[in-house]
Amino acid sequence: MDWAPLSDAIAKNHTFLISSHLSPDGDNVGSQLAFIWYLKSLGKQVDCYCADPLPQKLSFLQDSALITQNKPSGGFDVLVILDCSNITRVGWDCGEVSIGMIVNIDHHRDNANFGALNFVDASAAATGEVIFSFFKHCGVAVPAHVAVDLYTAVMTDTGGFRFSNTCGRVLRVCAELAELGVDCADVYERVFSRHTPQALALQARIWSTLKFHLGGRVCSLDMPHSLLDEVGAKYSDSEGMADNTVTALGVEVGVMTKHSPEETHFSLRSKGSVDVGKLAKGISGGGGHSCAAGCTIKKPYDEAMKEMLGILESVL
């Protein structure tokens, strides 16, 4: 990766806005916090806007309050968009803000290269890994709390080192971050093993919707948005449930739906025989990785699920 254009853009500009995708996850949040720290360490003026609130389980990350839901106004020299395959994933109209240039840093293979500068490494397990590579190139002395941000980014996007994007390089990166002061067991426990009673109640209700389709090759879980109010849970309390849909023997594709009366969002998982990233990209606004992707069909659940099962049947 040629990092010179990024270093040059940072050196020549002063005001920066950072943003990332809807439904923040560990890579989204960890990458933003690490980049906020870096720019501020250089004396830059930095704002960060995320259209959706952060999951409570990620609030332990230092300075997480810097990622706000206060929609930006005025102008910025540079908009840095992290971990987004396309610009619509930020969930807000970037044209409403005066921007000098857009910098796109990501690891999704289907990235649309929408920035004036694009730094996309599809071989990286997480955008946090890409940012750590940039920091190492620049000779940045990464403090312990930023190492935690980057470790969280990589750990979550590898599913706790369970997904197929976990490799020797990824583990070496995490070993470097651990040596910088990350308590790996503590981060894992905070992210994956702490749940509110309401979150567990929500997950129990989601489990009760378990269904198998197409001769057992597809497994689905379902969460109507109304369920959140019923159990007093947050949207983010369902994060990670999609990964359970491919744990049953014989299942090739997992589907987790979250829906309102007007539209249905699909989180898709695959054991490898079906490229769900390619499948999701065929639906407006969708995309992702070969084994984990997402898309939204603007139809009620019954109609949208029927359409999705038809698509899956054609590729299985």
Directed axis angle between helix 127-138 and helix 168-179, to 10°?
60
Domain-terminating residue out of 192, 219, 251: 192
170-208 residue pLDDT tens: 999 999 999 999 999 999 999 999 999 999 999 999 999
Q: Does one domain contain both 304 and 241?
A: yes
Domain count, the chain: 2
* Residue 243 and residue 143 share a domain: no
Q: How open is the CA angle 59-153-49, to the nearest 5 degrees?
A: 55
pLDDT for 134-167, tens place per residue?
999 999 999 999 999 999 999 999 999 988 899 9
CATH classification of the domain holding 244: 3.10.310.30
From residue 291, how far is each of 15, 165, 268, 286 by CA, in Å? 37, 10, 8, 14
Task: For residue 212, give the DSSP letter.
Answer: E
Confidence of residue 239 (pLDDT cuts 50, 70, 90): confident
Predicted local confidence at residue 157, as pLDDT: 94
Helices marked H in 180-275 — which ranges?
A: 184-192, 197-207, 226-231
Whether residue 181 sits in one domain with residue 203: no
| Among 128, 157, 192, residue at a domain's last position | 192
**In Å, how far are 208, 223, 233, 238 from 204, measured between CA atoms?**
6, 11, 12, 10
pTM: 0.92
Which residue range is the domain that position 12 belongs to?
A: 4-192
- pLDDT digit string (tens) for 23-71? 899 999 999 999 999 999 999 999 999 999 999 899 999 999 999 999 8
Q: State the Rg of the chain over Cα.
A: 19
List the structure tokens of 213: 């389709």
Residue with tokens 């997950």: 203
**Mean pLDDT lowest for which of 246-250, 253-257, 289-293, 304-308?**
289-293
Token digits of residue 308 = 């999705």
Query: Domain boundary at 172, 192, 212, which?
Result: 192
Q: What is the pLDDT of residue 105?
A: 98
Same structural domain, 112 and 236? no
Percent of the chain, pLDDT > 90?
Answer: 90
Are the C-beta atoms of residues 85 and 111 closer than 8 Å to each other?
Answer: yes
- Tell me what pLDDT residue 286 has: 86
